[in-house]
Amino acid sequence: MAIPYTFVSLLDVLGYKNKINDDRHNGKEDFKQKLESALSVLNGINETEISYQAISDTIIVSTHPSTPFPEFLRTLVRVHRSFLKNGLFIRGGISFAPHFKSGSLTYSHALPIAYEIEQKQAIYPRIVIDKNIIEMMKPGEKLEAATIEINNEELICKENGIYFLNIVGKSSAECHSLAKSIYDSEKSFLEGNEHELAKHRWLQNLIVALSGATLTPYMDGVEIFYP
Amino acid sequence: MTKIVSLYNNKGGVAKTTTLFNMAVYLAQVQEKKVLLVDCDPQCNCTELFFCSADNFDDPDLPLPGTSIYEALQPRFDGDRARVDVKDIYITPSPIYKNLSILRGDINFSRAEQYFSIAISQAVTESIHDKNTYAVMSRMLRDLGALHGFDYILCDVGPSAGSITRMTILSCDGVFIPTAPDRFSYQAIQGMGSIMNEWLTRHELIIATFDPYGIKAPFTTPKFYGAIVNNYKIHRAGKKKGSYLKWEQLIKDGIVNLLLSGSGKKLLPNQQSLLSNPFVASIRDVGAMAPVAQIVGKAIFDIAQPDTVHASSDGDYYRGAVWADWVTRMDEYRSEIGKIAAAME
């Protein structure tokens, strides 16, 4: 039997190793509780349409071949926001290719593509959509009909040739508050850590930009140094 | 329904372009079919032959009319469009033959080698861009056929196993194999079986991936329409010279055994009789008729008596027995081209 082609997203919880180490050194399970709480958003999903697996710092979300693509994007928006609510950043990739899961066996062409997108393109806390899926939205292509919902709900953003999920939508104030809260809680860890700080700055800029400049940056800016 | 046909041999000098042009004129003039020539060879010999009958052809300041094949396909190569809109393609009618048009060649079309090469390599993956590039030639030809109501589209390809030729042949409904009765043609036939098998095997693999992405594969599987033996010479008694017959037999055996027969062979004959005799036409060396036809831009069987002024050394055209011999040779040639046309039905 031919392997079905489905939309698959591979999501990675950022800072996983550090958060596990924090729990180990503090004798707590805070991170575990946050993960459970974040993933609880998927508890009520219709598993005949969308299924998921969470292994370590990786979450795989996949669709049934008949699941509408906009529905998949909406689910991923809810997942991303749920992680933000629990103080966690995720990033990932979305691909469309053969994907098979039966019991504990997963055989997938889609996963390595989504993984590569997550590793090479996502960089920041965002879920990047494979350009081939964007091609499928062109006139006459498979996803042409889905573009009506995608456009109406403004589900996809574009920057520098990268297409990614719009997690802000009409909830810019809520996202602003959540992102600020994460930044404030990690501020001391971020000092001198430009690599991690860039992720916060990118998310801040996204939220401010999509709010139509009604919201202001919450991160410290550049200042003159007076010794 | 348009029939898309090409003549293919990765060996050069087997009269691919000449035979194709003459087939086009025969179908358009004798059978009154609507025919489009498509020059898929960046050498543009077919385009040269098509336009050289025009009065102003030698004026270097005048660009050739109509859209070139590279200009037609460029929106896809650039990724601007999933498919080419054939309403944007201006094909050019023949200066002298009714029912015959051309999508002209372009020296820049050689750049398409890399686009098609990448598509052949990547179209089997999830890359929609490469699937669309892989399909673009076939889609364009079929869309042109439907838009203009062509009965036949005849594609001229270069003597190579490169990706332009490959995509053109895979876009066809049928392919003829022109050969010459010599060692080099036999050598080419020996290699052609594995080339065609490799092309068709990967082709099946690639187009099987189109449906899940909602892409309609615009292909039929090309069939073998027959082989053509060209350029043989005869004894004064009218029989083929023995040396030619020996090579012809070896080539015939090669086509049957290496190209068409055996397990796993992908190129199927259009008719079962081709398995016992693959030759559908046998064209004698046309001597001085070919260069004259090239000067006046006509089919070889359509050379007029005044045109022979280009063959004579005294500035006068051929008359009497010399012209009568030309008429006989032209009739023979037309008859063989007619056999090729019949093999497409």
pLDDT, tens digit, for every residue of A83-96? 999 999 999 999 99
pLDDT digits (tens, 9 = 90+) for B271-325: 999 999 999 999 988 888 999 999 999 999 999 999 999 988 888 989 899 999 9
Give the whole-angstrom CA distance, residue A13 versus residue A21.
14
156-215 in B: which are within 8 Å (CB) of A? 212-215
pLDDT band at A73 (very low <50, low <70, confident <90, very high): very high
Is residue B281 within 8 Å of B255, Cβ to Cβ? no
pLDDT tens digits, one per residue of A138-191: 888 889 999 999 999 999 999 999 999 999 999 999 999 999 999 999 998 899
- How much is the average pLDDT of B135-153? 97
- Answer whether A97 sits within 8 Å of B128, measured CB to CB: no
Average pLDDT of chain B, as a whole number: 92
**pLDDT tier, A39 (very low <50, low <70, confident <90, very high otherwise):** very high
Q: Tell me: the pLDDT tens digits for A94-132?
A: 999 999 988 888 899 999 999 999 999 999 999 999 999
Identify which has the larger pLDDT, A167 or B264: A167
Inter-chain touch A135–B126, beta carbons under 8 Å: no
**Chain B neighbors of A116, CB-CB under 8 A:** none
Is the per-residue pLDDT at B34 higher than 90? yes
Q: Which of B83, B126, B215 sits opposite A96 (nearest CB)?
A: B126
Mean pLDDT of the A200-215 span: 94
Whether B82 sits inside 8 A of A141 (CB atoms) is yes
Question: What is the tens place of the pLDDT at every residue in B174-216?
Answer: 999 999 988 999 999 888 888 999 999 999 999 999 999 988 8
Radius of gyration (C-alpha) of chain B in whole angstroms = 20
ipTM higher than the 0.90 cut: no
pLDDT of residue B80: 77
Question: Which of B151 and B286 is assigned the larger pLDDT?
Answer: B151
HEC string for chain B: CCEEEEECCCCCCCCHHHHHHHHHHHHHHHCCCCEEEEECCCCCHHHHHHHCCCCCCCCCCCCCCCCEHHHHHHHHHCCCCCCCCHHHCCCEECCCCCCEEEEECCHHHHHHHHHHHHHHHHCCCCCHHHHHHHHHHHHHHHHHHHHHCCCEEEEECCCCCCHHHHHHHHCCCEEEEEECCCHHHHHHHHHHHHHHHHHHHHHHHHHCCCHHHCCCCCCCCCEEEEEEEEEECECCCCCECHHHHHHHHHHHHHHHHHHHCCCCCCCCECCHHHHCCCEEEEEECCCCHHHHHHHHCCCHHHCCHHHHHHCCCCCCCCCHHHHHHHHHHHHHHHHHHHHHHHHCC
Contact between B128 and A95 using a beta-carbon 8 Å cutoff: no
Tokens standing for residue A18:
């550090």
Quick one: closest CA in B to A5, which residue?
B212
Residue B266: predicted pLDDT: 86
Would the pLDDT of A193 be above 70?
yes
pLDDT of B234 reads 65
- Nearest CA to B26 among B345, B339, B314? B339
Query: What does residue B231 show for φ and ψ, rounded to 5 degrees?
Result: 65, 25
Select from A115, A142, A144, A147 the residue whose CB has the most chain B CBs within 10 Å, as the one to mutate to test that interface: A142
Please provide the average confidence, as pLDDT, over all residues in chain A.
Answer: 93
Neighbours of A226 (CB within 10 A): 4
Query: Considering only CB atoms, which residues of chain A are within 8 Å of chain B?
Result: 4-5, 95-98, 109-110, 113, 130-132, 135-136, 138-143
- Residue A178 is predicted with a pLDDT of 97
Specify the pLDDT at position B235. 61
Mind telling me how many Å the CA of B218 is from chain A's nearest CA?
A: 14
Minimal Cα distance from B124: which residue of A?
A: A97
Chain A hits for B128, CB-CB cut-off 8 Å, are 132, 135-136, 141
Q: Is the dihedral of CA B184, B190, B191, B197 positive or negative?
A: positive
Q: How confident is the model at residue A1 (pLDDT cuts 50, 70, 90)?
A: low
CB spacing of B128 vs A135 below 8 angstroms: yes
Tell me the shortest Cα–Cα distance from B89 to chain A, in angstroms.
20
- Give the one of B81, B125, B213 whose C-beta lies nearest to A136's C-beta: B213
Chain A contact for B126, CB < 8 A? yes
Amino acid B12: pLDDT = 87
Q: Which of B80, B84, B124, B128 is the best residue to mutate to test the A interface, defined by the most A CB atoms within 10 Å of its own CB?
A: B128
Q: Which residues of A touch B122 (CB under 8 A)?
A: none
Asked if B124 contacts B204 with a C-beta cutoff of 8 angstroms, the reply is no
Do B142 and B135 form a contact (C-beta atoms < 8 A)?
Answer: no
Q: For A110, name the nearest residue in chain B, comparing CA atoms only.
A: B126
pTM of this structure? 0.85
